[in-house]
């Protein structure tokens, strides 16, 4: 059956979103003026045949992003979540699963054992486990698992600030294409996933595009928040048979709007992600 499994980009911003709280940088001021909210980066996966959907990462924009999925798949069951790591933008949306909110029952939560241990050991997350809202299932580096018959997921551990948990990227595979999702990584040198030998024509790499250049955060020590720069990412992964789409944009990033940086990205055959953008996995 054709076109039954869809992957939707539910947001494209770095953990703190756009506009960011208390920020008066040009991007945040403009976003407020026009009412723009691109949401924190997250993926939705919809199996229209099985009438089920999953979310990858639970962001501070969870309510809005869950609604995007409900509208794209009316009547479908919210079947589970997959988490990359325990930084603010990637798991705090879990709070909406608990007793003050949805009070959901036993939803499958795919995460590393370190992530599950972190949740179990810390309030308010521990309540989600003791109250039976979520049922953790362990992911292991390099060991594929299935969401449904047509959706295979392969986790890859990646180097990223690990003060709370380890961090994972995921390769989602269906009959029709593959999508690699890596919102946070310190450096591409630490990636064990070989994009050039795995992704083919029609596949898509959704990669960390946090900062365009080091000039973006004059008041912060960039060595404390390491990310590959967009210029490096484009040099390495644009102009390939597969598509490169940049995600996890920091509020300071000049590629939020049209200009020479975004034009350069397009000239290299890459693109900046847009909330609502979708692909057919199968
Ligand atoms: Zn992040
Ligand atoms: Zn800002
Ligand atoms: Zn992070």
Distance 81 CA to ligand 2 centre (A): 29
Distance 17 CA to ligand 2 centre (A): 9
Q: From the CA of 249, which ligand is nearest?
A: 1
Q: Which residues have CB less than 5 Å away from ligand 1 (the ion)?
A: 15, 89, 184
Q: What is the mean pLDDT of the chain?
A: 96
* CATH code, domain with 198: 3.60.15.10
Residue 3 binned pLDDT confidence (cut-offs 50, 70, 90): low
Distance 3 CA to ligand 3 centre (A): 32
Distance 247 CA to ligand 1 centre (A): 10
pLDDT for residue 167 is more than 90: yes
Residue 226 binned pLDDT confidence (cut-offs 50, 70, 90): confident
Distance 227 CA to ligand 3 centre (A): 10
Distance 255 CA to ligand 2 centre (A): 13
Residue 149 lies in a domain: yes
Distance 15 CA to ligand 1 centre (A): 5
With pLDDT > 70 as the criterion, what percentage of the chain qualifies?
98
Give this prediction's pTM. 0.96
* Structural domain harbouring 164: 5-277
pLDDT of residue 221: 72
Residue 120 lies in a domain: yes
pLDDT of residue 2: 46
Distance 67 CA to ligand 2 centre (A): 26
Residue 131 lies in a domain: yes
pLDDT for residue 281 is more than 90: yes
Q: From the CA of 90, which ligand is nearest?
A: 1
Residue 163 lies in a domain: yes
pLDDT of residue 225: 74
DSSP the chain: --S-EEEEEEE-B-TT-SSPTT--SHHHHHHHHHT----B-EEEEEETTTTEEEEES--TTHHHHHHHHHHHSTT-EEEEEE---SSHHHHGGGGGGSTTTT---SEEEEE-HHHHHHHHHSTTHHHHHHTTSEEEEE--TT--EEEETTEEEEEEEE----SS--EEEEEEE-SS-EEEEE---S-GGG--S-HHHH--TT-EEEEE--BS-GGG-TTS-GGGS---BHHHHHHHHSSSSSEEEEE-B-TT-GGGSSSHHHHHHHHTT-EE--TT-EEE--
Residue 89 lies in a domain: yes
Residue 267 lies in a domain: yes
* Higher pLDDT pick, 101 / 218: 101
Distance 28 CA to ligand 2 centre (A): 4
Q: Indicate the number of domains in the chain.
A: 1
Residue 282 lies in a domain: no
pLDDT for residue 250 is more than 90: yes
Residue 250 lies in a domain: yes
> What is the per-residue pLDDT across 33-53, written as a single tens digit (0 to 9) for each?
999 999 999 999 999 999 999
């Amino acid at each position: 059956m054709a076109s039954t499994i869809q992957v939707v980009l539910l947001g494209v911003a770095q953990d703190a979103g756009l506009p960011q709280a208390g920020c008066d940088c040009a991007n945040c001021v403009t976003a407020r003026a026009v009412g723009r909210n691109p949401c924190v980066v997250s993926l939705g996966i919809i199996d229209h045949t099985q009438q089920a959907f999953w979310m990858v990462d639970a962001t501070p924009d969870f309510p809005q992003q869950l609604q995007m999925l409900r509208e794209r798949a009316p009547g479908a069951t919210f079947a589970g979540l997959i988490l990359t790591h325990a930084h603010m933008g990637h798991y705090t949306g879990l709070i909406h699963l608990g007793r003050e909110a949805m009070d959901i029952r036993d939803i499958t939560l795919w995460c590393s054992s370190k992530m599950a241990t972190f949740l179990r050991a810390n309030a308010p997350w521990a309540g989600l486990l003791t109250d039976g809202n979520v049922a953790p299932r362990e992911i292991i580096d390099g060991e594929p698992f299935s969401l449904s018959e047509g959706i295979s997921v392969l986790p890859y551990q990646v180097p990223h600030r690990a003060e709370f948990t380890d961090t994972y990227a995921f390769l989602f595979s269906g009959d029709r294409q593959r999508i690699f999702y890596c919102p946070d990584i310190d450096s591409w040198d630490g990636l064990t996933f070989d994009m050039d030998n795995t992704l083919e024509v029609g596949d898509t790499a959704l990669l960390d595009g946090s900062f365009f250049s080091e000039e973006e955060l004059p008041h912060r020590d960039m060595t404390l928040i390491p990310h590959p720069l967009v210029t490096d990412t484009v040099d390495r992964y644009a102009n390939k048979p597969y598509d490169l789409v940049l995600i996890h944009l920091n509020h300071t990033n000049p590629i939020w709007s049209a200009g020479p940086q975004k034009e350069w990205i397009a000239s290299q055959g890459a693109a900046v992600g847009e909330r609502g953008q979708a692909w057919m996995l199968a």
